[in-house]
Amino acid sequence: MSKGLSLNNPESVSICLCGQAGQGIQTVEHLLTRIFKLAGFNVFATKEYMSRVRGGMNSTSIRISPGPVRAAASTIDILIPLNKGALQHVERNISSHTVILADKEMIGGDIDQTKYKFVDIPFTGTAAGIGDKIYSNVVAVGTMAGLFGIELSMASKYVEKFFSTKSSDIVQKNLAALKKGFDFGAELVKSSKIKFEIAADADVEDQVLLNGAEAVALGAIAGGCNFIASYPMSPSTGVLAFLARHAETFDIIAEQAEDEIAAINMGLGAWYAGARAMVTTSGGGFALMIEGVSLAAMLESPMVIHLAQRPGPATGLPTRTEQADLVLALYAGHGEFPRVIFAPGKIEDAFILTQRAFNLADKYQVPVFILTDQYFIDSYYNTAAPDLSKFKIEKHITRTNKDYRRYELTKGGVSPRGVPGFGKGLVVVDSDEHDTEGHITEDLELRIRMVDKRLKKGELLKKDNIPPELTGPKNYKNLIVCWGSTRNIAEEALQKIGRNDTALLHFKQVYPLAAQTAEYLQKAKKTIIIENNAGSQFAKLIKLHTGIDIDKKILKYNGLSFFVEELTEKLKEALN
């Protein structure tokens, strides 16, 4: 056994696969995460990819661990480059501990073998022997299964299930590729060349493996969503595709609109007629929806908007990540009106918050945002399955009577919402300023009452909000603040720092801010904010609402998420 090639019972093992778009990296990610989960390992996977259909360089990083693992790490324990150039693409993350499993012939001069730990595995040759180079990714899956002592029969069953719609010849060839790979992996263990031992975790079996897009979409279904109109735009499209895939089962109308303007106006028409609608989009598409956000406010229509952020301005980096559209969501729409913005940090929160978004939007007749980003949308991990008995769909529609008035003035500002055809009344909504019946008016006294009515709902929303979540000691000296998708990365970094004077405060509702916000910040001697943007947008929002300046800012805006190791270092620095 060559020295340093083994890690016994490590906290977690990071596997990185890298290759061209169209080479089946997605398939490897899918198969490996499922097979690891079946084996009882905790799994986390995330990917980074280029905005193209073929070629380029994409990588997927999978972490497996005996305990929960939920954040992106940069360290690579095992690297599988699937084509020439792959090594260079991830070189900055290769260390002296990295074991590179590669087809020597294929990567050729890409690697200085004396510099790295290198194990030659003939992925391509083996695949070619089976019938086609394209099976090399499944050979790699097999190698991993062998290396981690996973039962071949179990892995085979999953692979068979995955390819079940393909011809039996293709299934057999994939199984053969898996077996060959498995033998390579098992042989490495047997010859003590490499040894990784991950203990199975009994909790994993009953958990669900979800990515952010799936969690948002499932939360929408649980919230009673039965209408989605959207226009494709990375990284938001997964939610539309998911709901379209399950439309038949759940009586959902899932329509690809001609543009984002149509999408949100369809959503508003749908809510008006009694559906529960959402739109999913990213920054540029959302920019087109903005007049619709304002319309939702004026009609006092519920609306649920999933805004999956990617780096801008304009087209920016279409397949990368950023948290730079908070300000956009916060101020989008002309005129003054209330709104709610959620920003899930945990996969289960994406489910819970999206479910809640429908009830809240319906209850207060306001637009509710779910703000995610590419990193969150494309990352997977296993987590407890949502307990459906805890979720209720709250429908806030009334049967109208003959003298129904859509905008009746009430104490709280919320008027009972009727839908056309349900009852004896007429439902009139208008984007112009309107009277209580919904008809156009230029009565300037009434204007004041209508503005007040709409804004009053904002006061109610301030009380009906989700407080930030504190992790770590209650009597902290240092407080790390974050929001949205950085949560799990920050939490793991906090654990790594291991200080008992430092806590983490995560906001999953970023607007309206909870009343406790100032109190949390005042208690700290030092505050540090983590944001995946350049302008520290959330720190500015906090300042605006509490008057408090955050002491230190850790910002990242190169298009990638933070990584645990990097954030740990930055936090250490900031804490000293």
Q: According to CB under 8 A, which residues from 424 to 453 bind another protein?
A: 424-432, 438-440
Q: In this complex, which beta carbon is closest to another protein, that of residue 292 or of residue 318?
A: 292
- Is residue 396 close enough to count as binding another protein by CB under 8 A? no
Q: Scanning residues 348 to 387, which ones bind another protein (CB under 8 A)?
A: 385-386
> Which residues are CB-contacts of 519 (< 8 A; sequence separation ≥ 6)?
none
Cα gap 188→139, rounded to integer Å? 14
CA 314 to chain CA centroid, Å, is 21
Among 119, 200, 397, 575, binds another protein (CB under 8 A): 397
Q: Scanning residues 137 to 166, which ones bind another protein (CB under 8 A)?
A: 154, 157-158, 161
Helices (H), 436-536: 444-463, 487-497, 517-522
Element (H, E) at 466: none
Among 24, 142, 224, 512, binds another protein (CB under 8 A): 224
Q: In this complex, which beta carbon is closest to another protein, that of residue 71 or of residue 222?
A: 222
CB-based burial, 262-291: b 16+ in 10 Å, e otherwise: bbbbbbbebbbebbbbbbbbbbbbbbbbbe
Closest CA to 103 of 133, 76, 74: 133
DSSP lists the bridge partners of residue 104 as none
- Is residue 388 close enough to count as binding another protein by CB under 8 A? yes
Q: State the minimum distance, in angstroms, from the CB of residue 480 to another protein.
A: 31
Length of the chain: 576
* Type of residue found at 293: V
Q: Scanning residues 191 to 210, which ones bind another protein (CB under 8 A)?
A: 205-210
Among 221, 332, 489, 542, binds another protein (CB under 8 A): 221
Q: Scanning residues 34 to 63, which ones bind another protein (CB under 8 A)?
A: 34, 37-38
Q: Scanning residues 505 to 564, which ones bind another protein (CB under 8 A)?
A: none
- Locate 466 and state its tokens: 């989700």
Among 419, 460, 518, 534, binds another protein (CB under 8 A): 419
- Is residue 247 close enough to count as binding another protein by CB under 8 A? yes
Return the SS3 of 441. Answer: coil
Q: In this complex, which beta carbon is closest to another protein, that of residue 420 or of residue 535?
A: 420
Q: Scanning residues 161 to 190, which ones bind another protein (CB under 8 A)?
A: 161
Q: State the minimum distance, in angstroms, from the CB of residue 249 to another protein.
A: 5
Q: In this complex, which beta carbon is closest to another protein, that of residue 199 or of residue 384?
A: 384
Antiparallel, parallel or unpaired: β 277-281 and 303-309: parallel
Antiparallel, parallel or unpaired: β 55-65 and 13-21: antiparallel
Q: Give the per-residue contact string, 251-270, with another protein (x = CB under 8 A; - = no).
A: xxx-x-xxx-xxx-xxxxxx
Size of the site for another protein (CB under 8 A): 74
Q: State the minimum distance, in angstroms, from the CB of residue 158 to another protein.
A: 6
Q: Scanning residues 73 to 132, which ones bind another protein (CB under 8 A)?
A: none
Cα gap 522→505, rounded to integer Å? 13
Residue 163 and residue 134 in contact, taking contact as beta carbons nearer than 8 Å: no
Residue 385 and residue 208 in contact, taking contact as beta carbons nearer than 8 Å: yes
Binding piece for another protein, criterion CB under 8 A, among 93-101, 129-137, 421-429, 488-496: 421-429
